[in-house]
Structure 1
Amino acid sequence: MRVIVAVTGASGALYAQRLLQVLTQSEQVKEIAFIMSEQGRMLFAHELGVNLSLRRPDLSLLGINTTKVVPFHPKDLTAPPASGSARYDAMVIIPCSAHTLAKVAHGLADDLIGRAAQVMLKERRKLILVPRETPLSVITLRNMLAAAEAGAIIVDANPGFYHLPTTVQELVDFVVQRVCDHLGVTVELVPRWELPPKWFVRQA
């Protein structure tokens, strides 16, 4: 599997970091095209204290194995992700800002992230958007609907609590596991829902 991972300026750098760690460790994933917007670069600096270059980001600073990762500058519209003939299997925008969501929903391709997203939609390949925004305005909700109607999968960064998390990492892993589920990448980061749950007591 060849996957595009894009990072934009919504809060949630931990989600992007963890997804990249998991995908680079998976035998199912052979290559990861990495695209980071300028706002995504600022996000990593602010939330994780890591300064990355847009052109040659050293992802090893985030504990990521870089052997499978091919970085691309967000303004390089000649890069392989800009063409359907490059045949990437899927794309994840994590976190996906409201600004990027709007561009995807309305077909704007003024940078490599927007263009790659449009390629995924036109080629009928998986495009997963991971927004991290609250509360949601009517405009954002409409943009989510438009993107979903066009074929995108919305996996909002909204962790569950039925696995009884005790750390931030477990909350991050919940969201990342759901993203991987929709990518078709097998991971077991947190316990899954089971029926009946161990704590459940049926009323007579």
Structure 2
Amino acid sequence: MSAKRHRVRVVVCPGIHERALTQQFIEGLLTTGEERLHPASWLVFPTDRYPAYSGLHILRFLHEKLSTHSPDAALHTPLILIGFSAGVVGAVSAACGWRSLGGVVKALIAIDGWGVPLIGDFPMHRMSHDAFTHWSSALLGAGEDSFYADPSVDHLDLWRSPQIAAGYWVKPGSSSPPRGTSAATFLTALLCDYEALL
């Protein structure tokens, strides 16, 4: 008998900003036309109640939301964490903590996590509001496929309106030039690749 397959859960870790921006971010992703995108089931970490940069608070939040019959039940749920700005700090810390507890992290997506090292034994991706932030952040870990806006957009606009942030999809080690796309399309494609839309 095969083991039960657990659905991948998306965990959104906002930065320090108005809550409405996170809702606009999610609505912006819906414009890609990906019918399998189900953000109603996503877990949005409440940064109005806890520090955005606190991995410990994110872990507690995850155990509270995902533990059903036993505390260990949560760890059987594979996660994709999407962090923005200060939320990248919390997301990286929580992802590493989740792994150390025996949980599965399918991927971490760091949106404008400038100055935040990408560490962990799971796939990581960067998204940046301009080319300088993108290339300078890569010094602390480029991760796998990444995106940067060009022309540049405001830091908060990348979160608020990913559907209008045009830029380039960069594949590390590829001889092909970066491909033009939007931040929303790039992110939705990653979620599809990691089976978060199934």
TM-score, length basis structure 1:
0.43
TM-score, length basis structure 2:
0.44
